[in-house]
Amino acid sequence: MQGMLQRLRGQPRFFFGLLILLAFLLNAILALGLMDGLERQAYDLRVRATVPNTMDERVVIADIDEKSLKTLGRWPWSRDVLARFMDTLFTHYQVRVVGYDVVFAESEKNSGLALMQELAQGPLKNDGAFINELQQRQESLDYDKRFASSLKDRNVVLGMVFNSKRGENLNSPPPPFAALTAEGAAAMADLHHPQSYTANIDALTQSARITGFFDNPQLDADGIFRRVPLFQLYDNKLYPSLALATVHLALGAPPVQLVRPQSGGYSAIEGVALGEGEHGLFIPTDKHSAVLVPWRGKSGEAFEYFSISDILDKKIAPEKLKDRIVLVGTTAPGLLDLRSTPLEKSYPGVEVHANIIAGILDDMVRQQPAWVLGVEILLLIAVALVTLLVTTRFTPPLQVGITLVLAALVIGLNLLAWNSGMVLPLASPLLLLAILFTYIMAFGFFSETQGKRTITRLFGQYVPPDLVDEMAKNPEKISLEGESRELTVLFSDVRDFTSISEGLSATELSALMNAYLTAMTRLIHKHRGTIDKYMGDAIMAFWGAPVHDANHARLALLTAMEMKSDLATLQTEFRARGWPALNIGIGLNTGPMNVGNMGSEFRMAYTVMGDAVNLGSRLEGLSKNYGVTIVVSESTRKAVPDFSYRPLDCVRVKGKLEPVTIYEPVGETTGLPAATLSQLNEWESVLSHYRRQEWDVAEKRLKALLNADDRPLYRLYLERIAQFREVSPPDNWDGVYTYTTK
Residue 61: strand pairing partners: 305, 327
User: Across all residues in the chain, what is the average pLDDT?
Assistant: 87
- Contact at 8 Å (CB) between 388 and 433? no
The pLDDT, as a whole number, for residue 2 is 43
102 and 69 inside one domain: yes
Q: What is the CATH number of the domain that holds 519?
A: 3.30.70.1230
310 and 443 inside one domain: no
DSSP states along 182-204: HHHHHHTTTSB--SEEE---HHH
123 and 141 inside one domain: yes
Does position 113 have pLDDT exceeding 60, yes or no? no
The pLDDT, as a whole number, for residue 5 is 38
The pLDDT, as a whole number, for residue 581 is 86
Rounded to whole angstroms, how far apart are CA atoms 528 and 544? 9
344 and 384 inside one domain: no
The pLDDT, as a whole number, for residue 114 is 57
The domain boundary, picked from 338, 361, 384, lies at 361
CA angle 349, 354, 360 (to 5 degrees): 135
64 and 21 inside one domain: no
Structure confidence by residue, pLDDT tens digits, 681-714:
999 999 999 999 999 999 999 999 999 899 999 9
Three-state DSSP state, 339: strand
Does position 111 have pLDDT exceeding 50, yes or no? no
Rounded to whole angstroms, how far apart are CA atoms 628 and 559? 16
Does position 475 have pLDDT exceeding 70, yes or no? no
Query: Which of the pair, 293 or 458, is modelled with greater confidence?
Result: 293
Structure confidence by residue, pLDDT tens digits, 511-545:
999 999 999 999 999 999 999 898 988 999 999 98
The pLDDT, as a whole number, for residue 654 is 76
CA-to-CA separations, 506 to 338, 496, 500, 510, 581, in angstroms, rounded: 83, 17, 11, 6, 17
Does position 740 have pLDDT exceeding 90, yes or no? no
- pLDDT tier, 391 (very low <50, low <70, confident <90, very high otherwise): confident
400 and 354 inside one domain: no
Structure confidence by residue, pLDDT tens digits, 647-679:
999 998 877 778 999 999 999 999 899 999 999
Residue 444: strand pairing partners: none
- pLDDT tier, 280 (very low <50, low <70, confident <90, very high otherwise): confident
The pLDDT, as a whole number, for residue 434 is 92
- pLDDT tier, 135 (very low <50, low <70, confident <90, very high otherwise): low
Mean pLDDT of 203-215: 95
7 and 78 inside one domain: no
Judged by average pLDDT, the poorest of 31-35, 104-108, 118-122 is: 118-122
- From 125, 118, 248, select the one nearest 178 (Cα to Cα): 248
Query: Which of the pair, 131 or 426, is modelled with greater confidence?
Result: 426
The domain boundary, picked from 307, 328, 361, lies at 361
Burial class (CB in 10 A: 0-12, 13-18, 19+), 670: exposed
DSSP 170: B
Rounded to whole angstroms, how far apart are CA atoms 346 and 299? 9
403 and 536 inside one domain: no
Domain that holds residue 559: 480-636
Structure confidence by residue, pLDDT tens digits, 222-261:
999 999 999 999 999 999 999 999 999 999 999 998 888 7
Mean pLDDT of 319-343: 90
Mean pLDDT of 598-608: 75
The pLDDT, as a whole number, for residue 500 is 86
14 and 76 inside one domain: no
Rounded to whole angstroms, how far apart are CA atoms 448 and 452? 6
For the beta carbon of residue 139, count every other beta carbon within 10 angstroms.
10
What torsion, rounded to 10 degrees, do the Cα atoms 576, 578, 583, 586 define? Answer: -80
Q: Which amino acid is at 616?
A: G
* Count of domains forming the chain: 3
Does position 58 have pLDDT exceeding 70, yes or no? yes
Judge whether 606 lies within some domain.
yes
- Contact at 8 Å (CB) between 230 and 283? yes
Phi-psi region of 389 (alpha: psi -120 to 50; beta: other; left: phi over 0): alpha
* 14 CB-side CA count, 13 A: 12
Judge whether 243 lies within some domain.
yes
Residue 644: strand pairing partners: 667
- pLDDT tier, 380 (very low <50, low <70, confident <90, very high otherwise): very high
Mean pLDDT of 206-231: 94
